[in-house]
Chains A and B, each alone.
Chain A
Amino acid sequence: MRDFWRRFRRNKGAVVGLVILLLVVLVAATAPWLFPGSPWEMAGAPFAPPGEMGMLLGTDSLGRDVAAGIAHGARISLLVGAVSTAAALLVGVTLGAFAGYLGGIADDAVMRFTEFFQTIPSFVLAILLVAIFTPTITSVVGAIAVVSWPPVARVVRAEFLSLRGREFVQAAEVLGKSRLAIVLTDILPNALSPIVVLSSLMVASAILLESALSFLGLGDPNLMTWGFLIGSGRSVIRLAWWMSVFPGVAIFLTVLALNLVGEGLSDALNPRLARQRGGAA
């Protein structure tokens, strides 16, 4: 574990990313205390620029505090990112493990099913799903999960395909372990590193997807989100640039931080690759 942390720290960008991410999580966690009350309530005069009238990041067209919106939006963004990724992992790892371990016809069937999802542009599919099931937080999370599991399934399948032929898996087979035990205790732990790396990137893309849906007005109407903030500021961007820019910066920083952390994780979990990259630099 200490070794892992040492390798992670070697990637400076990853450490910066982790710091940003922790700040975002901190803001999300303390939002009810930092900005008590609902972010939907009027806090001052409309269109107050940043820094004036005690509004750190200004107010929107209805006099709502943009900073409060961003802090409360962080909760939703992180929640959507985490839950939809968890759901996508559940589906993707299960199907990928099934296909990779069994091979043959099972593999073919699962992979064709996966390709069926991959051939549809994921954003269009997400819009469609949210539109059909009416925009609520559940349907948004569900739609994001549905469009983001196929890459997980493919990665997990590839790992399982290469691992199941290894001698230690054959040894487990010879010991008489059940298939489920072999998959869970022998193969999965060894396939974990790419899954961990991939999931950090999936959280980032889930946050982007959610913001894009909210921007188009397909977010949960009862929840303040970053995408909604940008969407509502879009029509008055010349009058009040801060309404769109600050939530945009929040999205940018969070996604960037997640990507940096993902790369750091990848370095720390695959030390040999990282060393090669470090040697070239």
Chain B
Amino acid sequence: MSLLRVEGLTVALPPGGDRPHAVEDVSFHLDAGEILCVVGESGSGKSISANAVMGLLPKGLPVRQGSIAFEGRELLSLAPEAMRKLRGERLAMIFQEPMTALNPLMRVGDQIAEVLRVHGSGTDAARRVPELLAAVNLPDPAVIARSHPFRLSGGQRQRVMIAMALALEPALLIADEPTTALDVTTQMQILRLIREIQSRRGMGVLFITHDFGVVAEIADRVAVMQRGRIVEQGPAAEVLNRPQHSYTQALIAAVPHGAAQARAAITTAPVLELRGVEKTYRRGGFFGARAVVRAVHDADISLRQGETLGLVGESGSGKSTLARCVVRLVEPERGTIAYHGTDLRPLSRAGWKPYRRRIQMVFQDPYASLNPRRTVGDTIAEGPVTHGTPRAQALERARELLRLVQLDPGAMDRYPHEFSGGQRQRIGIARALAMEPELLIADEPVSALDVSVQAQVLALLAEIRARLGLTMLFITHDLRVAAQICDRVAVMQRGAIVEQGPTAEVFARPQHAYTRQLLDSIPGRGWTPPEL
């Protein structure tokens, strides 16, 4: 008998959605001691399936038909009290966002103890809590137990969440994108932790993810979801290396393959040179200690004409701050930012204006980087108009640019909310290109996008770069993406560049320990996506 058996599950969407059912006729099973990965892009219904198992569906999403049997008991017909008892004790869940999943006002030890207490085993909480914290490899469990969540890093919080989920030794653990919000090195640690605990306790794990690298790292079996249906399922090795369904094949083909090709060295004149740029944030000081964060220091880079330099690093490494220094969204205290030999740093706002045409930026979040109250056409045209191009001409050019970024010119009069994330990112790229820049700074332009959309946007960027001869500073936390698009990479850690060199060189022979650690943490590095 399987631990969990879902048969023909169909969950309705509220009327007026893009499809009648959130998930439709979904069947899968999970045995004890097994990790089943449910993979799919956003909106594919993978989280809905998990929430249905936990009985956590919102009222607007009723289960239309199907059955969910857990240890032989039907969950869908269970009374709420019985379900509550089961949740936490036999079924546990960890969520995507560790920053918001913990109560900020409660010490983490108390939160774990609460889980025990609710299920009637609060008496030995004092003994169990440090044990659990130790089990998830947190250093110094006694101190952590007395900390409030804000004292902990994202990875530590996710470990606390896992400790809470494990408190009552559940038979089934549902992990909904538990590592998506984490840095790669932390992600790898959490994946190893889940794997280790799972094998030690023989739990069944339902692991939801959008990342095939993570699947390759952790899954025993895989179920691929598309628009509410499972299109393919089978053993991990089978699905990853011999995908049958066209959608799975498309998804796997879109995974950045991480292999860096050797490229011809570029020896053109330098476009941008950063020397001794420093940015330090200070805060506090009125009461208590003054916090000083050296966001950027020792980060000299030089970019040659037509070259793409990747700036890679984890969150907080200062890579975005460095990029923002170049376009003066952040003003560094020290150093020179030489653009064709002219130092941009001391320039006034007016003095900067001519350079705005030459240096443009593509932003990370396609949902936040477009003014929601302005039409797409106006958004793209406003840069040139600001610099004195007649409006009619700028709009005509915007129409051409939409075609260049593979959008319908009919999009001109529509507002950003009518577009998907990938389309919006194309609009953001068109806005930057409207200025006909020489240097394009791309700040994590694909990290908020689904993998297939990510592949399209990367291909678009590569094509535009080749066609227009752009020089590009490409910021990313994803080394696979960097390997695919960059000529050279610079690895940042705590505000400093610890290693830089040609991409193939750095990937093949990393010199710095941190670079090696980053490369080791790439999920699914042991798996080479098949040529399809």
Contacts and interface: CB of A to CB of B under 8 A. Distances in A.
Interface of A: 166-168, 170-179, 181, 185-186, 189-190
Contact of B368 (A168, A178, A179): A168
Nearest to A189: B373
Given A167-B369, A168-B370, A177 B363 contact: no
26 contacts: A167-B363, A168-B369, A168-B370, A168-B372, A170-B329, A170-B361, A170-B369, A171-B361, A171-B369, A171-B370, A171-B428, A171-B431, A172-B371, A173-B328, A173-B329, A174-B359, A174-B360, A175-B360, A175-B435, A176-B357, A177-B386, A179-B349, A181-B386, A185-B382, A186-B371, A190-B371
Contact of A176 (B352, B365, B369, B372): B352
B364 A167 contact: yes
Nearest to B353: A176
A179 B386 CA distance: 12
Nearest to B368: A167
Contacts of A185: 374, 382
B455 interface: no
A72 B430 CA distance: 58
A172 B328 CA distance: 12
Nearest to A188: B373
Contacts of B428: 171
Main SS at interface, chain A: helix
B383 interface: yes
B276 to A, nearest CB: 23
Contacts of B383: 175-176
Taking each of A172, A176, A181, A190, which has the highest tally of chain B beta carbons within 10 Å of its own beta carbon? A176
B340 interface: no
B138 interface: no
A176 B368 contact: no
B387 interface: yes
Interface of B: 327-329, 349, 352-353, 356-357, 359-361, 363-365, 368-374, 382-383, 386-387, 428, 431, 435
A171 B356 CA distance: 11
Given A174-B361, A177-B382, 5 more contacts: A168-B371, A176-B357, A177-B386, A181-B386, A185-B382
A179 B365 CA distance: 23
A168 B431 CA distance: 11
Given A167-B368, A168-B368, A170-B363, A176 B373 contact: no
A225 to B, nearest CB: 39
A174 B371 contact: no
Contacts, number: 60
B327 A174 contact: yes
A164 to B, nearest CB: 11
A44 B353 CA distance: 74
Contacts of A178: 386
Contacts of B365: 167
B373 A190 contact: yes
Nearest to A175: B383
A186 B374 CA distance: 8
Contacts of A177: 382, 386
A173 B360 CA distance: 10
A189 B356 CA distance: 24
Contacts of B360: 174-175
Nearest to A186: B371
A182 to B, nearest CB: 10
A181 B353 CA distance: 14
A176 B363 CA distance: 16
Contacts of B359: 174
Given A167-B363, A190-B373, A174 B356 contact: yes
A175 B386 contact: yes
A174 B386 contact: no
A166 to B, nearest CB: 5
Contacts of B357: 176
Given A168-B371, A171-B369, A176 B386 contact: yes
Considering residues B365, B371, B386, B431, which has the most beta carbons from chain A within 10 angstroms of its beta carbon? B371
A175 B373 contact: no
A179 B348 CA distance: 13
A224 B382 CA distance: 51
B57 to A, nearest CB: 15
Contacts of A189: 371, 373-374
A77 B150 CA distance: 52
B382 A166 contact: no
Contacts of B386: 175-178, 181
Nearest to B327: A174
Contacts of A173: 328-329
Nearest to B431: A171
A69 to B, nearest CB: 44
Contacts of A179: 349
Contacts of A166: 368
A166 B373 CA distance: 14
Contacts of A171: 361, 363, 369-370, 428, 431
